[in-house]
Structure 1
């Protein structure tokens, strides 16, 4: 099945409808509305206890510069496999573990958006680093996902339900370390309850920004304005 930018059918960005053939990944997302887990399971995902260093630097820069343009924002620290969420005024709303692309790396492979899932090799399953303006799109089966980078088909969405048991995505998220949080094709998976109750209402109206820190590149290379902010703080 053709997947132009691995797009989900009926995606809407800035009010303009974009259509395309829904890929296997999109179908998996739309079919994931399996039986709901208990409330205890829904809210059991732990928050990382220590605020990640990269995320702290990015958060300080955003707060000082107003880079979020009065929109809500999330910082995804890939090294710590954690997401920090803030409202439009910079108030921290929560911190949760995330699942990320299998392969470490900070750039999407050329042409990745036009490939079928079966054509994507293990080394191509990366979550790209950078600053992204994220907006909701309507998926196949009227399932909505938060598109982080439409061109490379990276979305932020809950763990698929019921999903593939062998992937053990929920168990990976519940584990005390970030070593086993690499399992996706590049998308960012978050706890279901946090997505439904916090992220979705916050980003629903106007969208917001998602800042993804790097695995390999220096932080200043991905976010050059951090260097300028640090320079200004030292009075140089």
Structure 2
């Protein structure tokens, strides 16, 4: 005879956390590839957290805040439009599908990266061809990932084409508006923000005035390593 506790447990309806659960047709390799690429937004989010923890740069922080605002807009739109997904998967996905959050996130991220490279990341050294090539590769890769994720959401029937297109449009518009806000309103305030006591405690920094952050950090670390190497060689006892 089952105990009262076991009977109570049997009556519980278990709800799966479908945050990273992506279903695809069994044996469909293309579907499996699209299912894997659906996890890209989570990888981007993890990358943001790592960059913020290790670089403490204000622009990275406000970029991440922009992605959170973008996600909030998506939630509001979904629960305002209330359009269902094209395929019902029992109780795994009970949220609405318009607009696609994956599509909106990836197109927001890709367009913001494009704006960042055009208006923020200037390369003033002699390797202009190499710099331009890297820009093209990085930006093209971002847009390619956004396109693949968007196609995958339709292929796996998590969203209709219209839901994906609307998500992309909302992401593009949000990225444009947020970059203007950051570039025109927030960036001029960065020098004051980094002087705050809390910013000093958290070692938050502003690299806005540095023309090319990547090149600056590369040359700075290289020069520091050489200087420390010479210092260690000078103090090394003669054999």
- TM-score bucket of the superposed structures, by smaller chain: under 0.3
Q: What's the TM-score once normalised by structure 2's chain length?
A: 0.26
Higher Cα radius of gyration: 2
